[in-house]
Amino acid sequence: MNNVIVSTDPGQLRQMVPAGTKVVLLYDRNVSVWMEQITDPSWITIPLDGGEGLKQWKYVQQVTDRFIEMQIDRSWFLIGMGGGTVCDFAGFIGSVYMRGMMFGFIPTTLLAQVDAALGGKNGIHAGPYKNMIGCTVLPGWVFCYPAVLSTLPAGEFRCGLAECIKHGAIASESYFRFLEEEVFPLKEFKDYSPEILHRLITDSQEIKLGIVEQDLYEKGVRRALNFGHTFGHALAARYPELSHGEAVAKGMAAATFYSVQKGLLSQESVKRLLRAIDSAGLDPELPCTQSDLITYMLHDKKKQGKTLGLVLLRDIGEYVLFNEPVEKWKNTLRNPGVSLGAQWEKNLSLWLEKAPWVEFRLDLMGDISQVGMVALRMQCMGKEKKILLTLPVNPECTEVPDSLREMISWGAGWVDIPVKASPAYKESLSSLARENEAGIIQSVHFWENPSREIPGEATLNELVREAFSTGADYLKIAVYTYSVQQSDKLLAWCDEQNAREGVDYRITVMIMGEDALRTRKHALSQGYPFVYAASGPQNTTAPGQPSFEALMM
């Protein structure tokens, strides 16, 4: 897009329309003063109420009805003048009215000048769903008159600065430094010199246009422009009181924290980004935990597909496109869980609050009296879906014990069934689980053995086949290992399996013995579906099982 002009000369604007062409100008009422000052008096004008409320179908209909009445046809030139909402709206009408007419923009917010008016994305919302209807058509030109920003409310100006920070963060350390050193120390718009304002706008535009030019239809690199927005949109949906800029600022902060967690970004760079957000007058603090944020993103009704893509940073000025399967994110969020045995009475309430799920090892919980059962039930109320019920049985067993039956009926989250249980037992427990909408984990344990051997690949592969062909949602393989090499071999196998189409992070290998802590940290980082922890160092339910605290460190 070569036709992006930043100019202090309104005469230049009037020359942007081919001589003799009729013009219809859709403008935001809030910029009437500027409309009168810089546009051509011969242009036909239609005022609009700018803001998100404008981007609705009924207003498209109203405006196009007016166009028809006024006998506007494709030979006319349409101009949208206002913030991003007016540009998105006018661009949409310009793209679809009579199958498309010539159009241009006069963006009047900083956000629209550096972002929304550039790049050809036009559209409206579908009810509550943002930007659901639209198209990608580039405007003929964009004319920016920087003085219009003098009437922009300070909060709206800050929203624009958030996009400038985004551009610097993903693509240009020198622009980022310019913001830090020359822009952010200026407290009010009147402090901006024409030169600073010009550079603030043009350098930011250059970054956006450079990316759009490579990838107009967002097949690849253009996704980088979503830095902070994927998190930001989730925040805005959850906290509607946040403005776009405030949500993006927090979203950028969240994305940098993830960048550190993924080992991509240094703490120093995170501090720099947070400082920049703060000195632009925006607040980087998150109103919720990072896990909650990912949960909102995964529940986004617009979200489709099997992967969740994020834009992270490797450095200030360098982005990384990061894609992870949705299942892996889900697993990461609900780990580690806590396994309870004999000490359940002391600990249950605490862990039902604190851990994402709690395993009841029924074989280790002892005989629970009728009264004990009622007490247990009371403690679980409202938390039933967090309960994982495990009862190891030998292959001869065919009947599901009453206690297990009863607990499933409470509405447990998951039931653990031994892979090697008898077909009758598996069938009966599986159908009980399904009736009660509990997930099914099939499990197998390879305990410490005199020959110090671990199962080979053929055995493991056969377990996968057996478990998933007999109704398992997940497979847990617990193995006692005697060396780091043995553990690593099993983890490598599990990583490979989980990444396979159709398996999708449904297998968990839990190492028992001395290597348990290290390998469970690997399981956490690789998104294994269930990572087990003990409630404390003395309360393990499997050899070497690390405590919840140790795993969280």
Should residue 25 be labelled a site residue for ligand NAD when binding is judged by CB under 6 A? Answer: no
- Of the candidates 39, 95, 108, 541, which one interacts with ligand NAD according to CB under 6 A? 108
Taking the complex as a whole, the smallest distance from the CB of residue 28 to ligand NAD amounts, in Å, to 5
> Which range binds ligand NAD by CB under 6 A, 103-111, 288-296, 350-358, 498-506?
103-111
* 189-228 footprint of ligand NAD as x/- string (CB under 6 A): ----------------------------------------
> Which range binds ligand NAD by CB under 6 A, 113-121, 403-411, 458-466, 532-540?
113-121
If residue 57 lies in a helix (H) or strand (E), which one and from where to where? helix 57-69
Chain residues 63-102 in contact with ligand NAD, contact rule CB under 6 A: 82-86, 88
The pairing of strands 44-48 and 23-28 is: parallel
Should residue 546 be labelled a site residue for ligand NAD when binding is judged by CB under 6 A? Answer: no
- Of the candidates 104, 119, 228, 232, which one interacts with ligand NAD according to CB under 6 A? 119
End-to-end CA distance of the chain: 50
Taking the complex as a whole, the smallest distance from the CB of residue 282 to ligand NAD amounts, in Å, to 14
Chain residues 227-256 in contact with ligand NAD, contact rule CB under 6 A: 244
The HSE-up count of residue 133 (CA atoms within 13 Å, CB side) is: 15
- Of the candidates 31, 60, 162, 179, which one interacts with ligand NAD according to CB under 6 A? 31
- Residue 150 or 261: which CB sits closer to ligand NAD? 150
Kindly state the number of chain residues that form the binding site for ligand NAD, as judged by CB under 6 A.
28
CA distances from 233 to 75, 243, 248, 293 (A): 38, 10, 8, 10
Should residue 148 be labelled a site residue for ligand NAD when binding is judged by CB under 6 A? Answer: yes
- Residue 119 or 251: which CB sits closer to ligand NAD? 119
How far apart, in whole angstroms, are the C-alpha atoms of residue 5 and residue 107?
A: 11
- Of the candidates 24, 50, 104, 238, which one interacts with ligand NAD according to CB under 6 A? 50
- Residue 151 or 461: which CB sits closer to ligand NAD? 151
How far apart, in whole angstroms, are the C-alpha atoms of residue 445 and residue 447?
A: 6
Query: 542 near 512, Cβ under 8 Å?
Result: yes
How far apart, in whole angstroms, are the C-alpha atoms of residue 540 and residue 10?
A: 76
Chain residues 259-288 in contact with ligand NAD, contact rule CB under 6 A: none
- Residue 160 or 284: which CB sits closer to ligand NAD? 160
Should residue 53 be labelled a site residue for ligand NAD when binding is judged by CB under 6 A? Answer: no
Listing DSSP states for 363-394 in one string gives TTS-PPPHHHHHHHHHHHTT-GGGEEEE----
Chain residues 384-423 in contact with ligand NAD, contact rule CB under 6 A: none
Chain residues 301-330 in contact with ligand NAD, contact rule CB under 6 A: none
Taking the complex as a whole, the smallest distance from the CB of residue 143 to ligand NAD amounts, in Å, to 14
Phi, psi (degrees; rounded to nearest 5) at 331: -60, -45
Residues counted in the chain? 553
The DSSP bridge partners found for residue 508 are 476
CA-CA-CA-CA torsion sign (253, 254, 256, 260): positive
The DSSP bridge partners found for residue 388 are 359, 414
Should residue 121 be labelled a site residue for ligand NAD when binding is judged by CB under 6 A? Answer: yes
Taking the complex as a whole, the smallest distance from the CB of residue 299 to ligand NAD amounts, in Å, to 21
Query: 10 near 37, Cβ under 8 Å?
Result: yes
Q: Which of 44, 47, 21 is nearest to 33 (CA)?
A: 47
- Residue 34 or 184: which CB sits closer to ligand NAD? 34
- Of the candidates 4, 24, 25, 30, which one interacts with ligand NAD according to CB under 6 A? 30
- Residue 131 or 202: which CB sits closer to ligand NAD? 131
How far apart, in whole angstroms, are the C-alpha atoms of residue 146 and residue 176?
A: 20
- Of the candidates 112, 142, 478, 507, which one interacts with ligand NAD according to CB under 6 A? 112
Query: 80 near 68, Cβ under 8 Å?
Result: no
Query: 39 near 20, Cβ under 8 Å?
Result: no
Question: Which pair of tokens denotes residue 220?
Answer: 């690849």
CA distances from 462 to 203, 394, 455 (A): 59, 19, 11
**Interaction site with ligand NAD (CB under 6 A):** 28, 30-31, 50-52, 55, 82-86, 88, 108-109, 111-112, 115-116, 119, 121, 131, 148, 151-152, 156, 159, 244
